[in-house]
Chains A and B, each alone.
Chain A
Amino acid sequence: MKHHTHPITILQNMGSFLFLLIIPLARGALSFGASFSEWLSGAWVDILALCAIIGMAVLRWYCIYYYFTPEAIHISEGIFAKHTVSLPFSRLTSLYLEEPFWYKPFGAVNLRLDTDAGSARSHDATLTLKKRAAVELLGATGVRQRLEDVSHRQIFMCRNFYVVILSLITTNYFAGVLFCSTFISKLGDILGQQIADVLYGTLAHVAQLVAVGIPPVALFIATLLAIGWGVSFLRNLTRYYNFCITRSQHRLFITGGVLVGREYTVAIDKIHFIDIRQTLFTRIAQFYSVYIKCAGYGKSDGLLPVLIPSARKSTLFGYLERLVPEFVVTPRTIKPNLLSIFKFIIDPLGFLVAVPVFYFVTGWLLPSWHDLISFVTLMSLVPIFWFLGVRICDFCTTGISEKNGYFTLRYSQGFTLHTVVVHRDKICDVCCRQSILQMGDDACDLFLYTYGEGVTRHHLKNLPRREVCALFGLNPEKGHSFSLSHLFNKYN
């Protein structure tokens, strides 16, 4: 039996045809200056355009329908080009039920379905349904149970204080906005002076205006950035407020959100890996955040695939044992030797060397800009030293270990420290790379690729090559090519 989506989809569809409004807008522009009766005589064109928008939206809604069998859900859409997608229930990795507050008067919800295939940016299928129809559909197919009916469940409710920590950590431009605000405000003062010195001699009144105008503008931009960060922070906070996870035998039910009610259902066996992340700031403060990689979870609206928003070390492993006991974090057994610290800090040291070179070269080329160059040089040292701190922490923690087919990887990427636990079945490629400099102490860089809607690369630096070969069951005397058959044969 075919089912249509909620009629509110018509309003969503109208957005696709709003370009037709260009007709009445153009007519209005052309008839500017004409009398009202002249404008009115052509109003039928405007009405026709509006009717076309509504008509096409209704037609598109009518052409979208779905039906389901015990094995799969089939969704068909399109007016001129018909597109039918079949999603087997056995392949679903996650489903996302979203209930924005503006949908509540209409009793509508967004249902988004995902598999390991399809785009990494958008969901495989999105339907706007009546809430009753959505719950009925999912309940009838056994994909989703009422939380009250879940037996043998573990529940994790995150204190909102830790949600605030997560929001602070993950809000875009957190440290960067503070940095840029200071930078731009100070830059405005300097630029004003610089321009006043240079332009006073050649331009009179206009130069004065520019030199006077820039500092307030810089202050305005800095304030705007700070406000932007504040809005982003509040947005993150409302997304994860009242964060709660219920673990059943085969699934995770994740709920949260204030303005928009969110409910994720994630299949445990479809989780590719868990990722425990820290920045330098949270490492000092001893906070950890845990994420999972599962197709569909954390894909829409800039949401993060969070499992545990934030937790102290003393409580983190207890939570992990309750929620994902399959993924066991083990201490590292293979780690870089002490002399390889240089490999880790060479990048930030390179920047530290480049900065004074930049300072002297530009100071020699542009002596009149000395103050500006000094300021920019000084401010650029802040992220470089931060990066150096991250790399030193990376050296102290990098490594790999294995237990019961689960690998624990510790590495850094950018300004973030990662601890990843992944099963061997989720690894699609292993690559070992040894540079000329690494030949001396027989070290190598290890690249592990995990699959799932695109490939994720995990880069571990400067590990002892023989130990890595032994871990993956390879002959260290031979070449550095790995194949998955070696990896699987070791455990079969």
Chain B
Amino acid sequence: MKKMPPKERVPSGYERPSLSSLLIYYIRILLLGFVYMVLVHLFLSPDGLLYRVAVWVWAVSFALLWLLYFPIKYWKHRYKLEGNSLYVASGVIYTRFHHIRLPLIQLVSVTRSPLQYLFGVATLCVCTAGTRTYVCNIPSAKAAMLASLLSPAPGGDSGGLASGKEGDI
């Protein structure tokens, strides 16, 4: 029986976000956990049943997020710029594949939170007339480069307020 070659784990050409995105997710969940435990400790009695339930719920959620959700989220989030299109895949439970044609892109934006500043990454947001797609936690320089690449060039099928500039308005 012929041996089938193993399937590629990541379709070719796709890139993943920076590994520091996983660290960012972990730091966020730790901060959230800290606030949660402070509130639980303030409002619930340590001897009561509700306190124990709150602690166990958090412990289980934390473990699931830490060990399963965020690693899968990092692993499945990828993007590729090929030809005239941007492909983005993301999602944990439901996997979403976005195919965005470059001529349909209306505007792009780059956002950096304080944590992203610390790790030198940024989030790229690509907007078309009907949707908005995010590529999270990619290196800042790459985000800026992609933003300039994805911004529509003048001329061609553009139109809009920039059409007919000199004496032809």
Question: Across the two chains, which residue of chain B brings its CB closest to A253?
Answer: B169
Chain A contacts for B114, CB-based, 8 A: 80-81
A82 in contact with B163 given A91-B152, A251-B169, A451-B129 (CB within 8 Å): no
A166–B130 alpha-carbon span in the complex (Å): 31
A90 in contact with B130 given A118-B106, A150-B169, A249-B168 (CB within 8 Å): no
Question: Across the two chains, which residue of chain A brings its CB closest to B158?
Answer: A90
Q: How far is the CB of A118 from chain B (nearest CB, A)?
A: 6
Question: Across the two chains, which residue of chain A brings its CB closest to B122?
Answer: A82
Q: By the criterion of a CB under 8 Å from any partner CB, how many residues of chain B are at the interface? A: 35
Q: How far is the CB of B139 from chain A (nearest CB, A)?
A: 15
A145 interfacial contact with B, CB 8 Å: yes
Question: Across the two chains, which residue of chain B brings its CB closest to A250?
Answer: B164
Q: How far is the CB of A316 from chain B (nearest CB, A)?
A: 26
A249 in contact with B169 given A81-B111, A81-B114, A124-B107 (CB within 8 Å): yes
B48 interfacial contact with A, CB 8 Å: no
Q: Binary interface profile of A, 119-145, with partner B (CB < 8 Å = 1, else 0)?
A: 000001000000000000000011111
B108 interfacial contact with A, CB 8 Å: yes
Selected A-B contacts with CB under 8 Å, 21 pairs = A84-B110, A86-B108, A88-B158, A89-B154, A89-B161, A90-B152, A90-B158, A90-B163, A91-B158, A116-B106, A117-B105, A124-B107, A142-B162, A142-B166, A143-B161, A145-B169, A151-B167, A267-B159, A270-B160, A270-B161, A451-B130
A151–B164 alpha-carbon span in the complex (Å): 12
B101 interfacial contact with A, CB 8 Å: no
B160 and A90 contact, CB distance less than 8 A: yes
A393 interfacial contact with B, CB 8 Å: no
Chain B contacts for A88, CB-based, 8 A: 106-107, 151-152, 154, 158, 162
**Residue positions of A touching B, CB distance < 8 A:** 70-72, 78, 80-95, 115-118, 124, 141-145, 150-151, 248-251, 265, 267, 269-270, 428, 451-453, 455
B128 interfacial contact with A, CB 8 Å: yes
A85 in contact with B107 given A116-B129, A117-B128 (CB within 8 Å): yes
Chain B contacts for A80, CB-based, 8 A: 113-114
B106 and A117 contact, CB distance less than 8 A: yes
Q: Binary interface profile of B, 87-130, with partner A (CB < 8 Å = 1, else 0)?
A: 00000000000000000011111111110010000000001111
A144–B164 alpha-carbon span in the complex (Å): 10
A87 and B154 contact, CB distance less than 8 A: no
A451–B106 alpha-carbon span in the complex (Å): 13
Q: How far is the CB of B17 from chain A (nearest CB, A)?
A: 18
A250 in contact with B151 given A116-B106, A117-B107 (CB within 8 Å): no
B132 interfacial contact with A, CB 8 Å: yes
B31 interfacial contact with A, CB 8 Å: no
Q: How far is the CB of B114 from chain A (nearest CB, A)?
A: 5
Question: Across the two chains, which residue of chain B brings its CB closest to A80?
Answer: B114
A93 in contact with B161 given A81-B111, A86-B147 (CB within 8 Å): yes
Chain A contacts for B164, CB-based, 8 A: 249-251
B3 interfacial contact with A, CB 8 Å: no
Q: How far is the CB of A23 from chain B (nearest CB, A)?
A: 21
Question: Across the two chains, which residue of chain A brings its CB closest to B131?
Answer: A117
Chain B contacts for A251, CB-based, 8 A: 161, 164, 169
B111 and A143 contact, CB distance less than 8 A: no
Chain A contacts for B127, CB-based, 8 A: 115, 117-118
Q: How far is the CB of A152 from chain B (nearest CB, A)?
A: 9
A82 and B154 contact, CB distance less than 8 A: no
Chain B contacts for A85, CB-based, 8 A: 107-109
User: Which of these, A82, A118, A250, A270, contacts B107 with CB under 8 Å?
Assistant: A118
A250 and B163 contact, CB distance less than 8 A: yes
Chain A contacts for B153, CB-based, 8 A: 71, 90
Chain A contacts for B107, CB-based, 8 A: 85-88, 91, 115, 117-118, 124
A62–B129 alpha-carbon span in the complex (Å): 31
Q: How far is the CB of B56 from chain A (nearest CB, A)?
A: 34
A269 and B159 contact, CB distance less than 8 A: yes
Question: Across the two chains, which residue of chain A brings its CB closest to B114?
Answer: A80
B165 interfacial contact with A, CB 8 Å: yes
Chain A contacts for B129, CB-based, 8 A: 116-117, 451-453
A117–B126 alpha-carbon span in the complex (Å): 9
User: Which of these, B106, B111, B167, contacts A91 with CB under 8 Å?
Assistant: B106
A251–B152 alpha-carbon span in the complex (Å): 21
B169 and A90 contact, CB distance less than 8 A: no
Chain A contacts for B161, CB-based, 8 A: 89, 92-95, 143-144, 251, 265, 267, 270
A118–B130 alpha-carbon span in the complex (Å): 8
Chain A contacts for B147, CB-based, 8 A: 84, 86
B154 and A90 contact, CB distance less than 8 A: yes
A253–B108 alpha-carbon span in the complex (Å): 27
A116–B152 alpha-carbon span in the complex (Å): 13
Q: How far is the CB of B144 from chain A (nearest CB, A)?
A: 8
User: Which of these, A91, A116, A117, A142, contacts B165 with CB under 8 Å?
Assistant: A142
Chain B contacts for A248, CB-based, 8 A: 169
Chain B contacts for A115, CB-based, 8 A: 106-107, 127
A265–B167 alpha-carbon span in the complex (Å): 17
Chain B contacts for A141, CB-based, 8 A: 162
A444–B158 alpha-carbon span in the complex (Å): 37
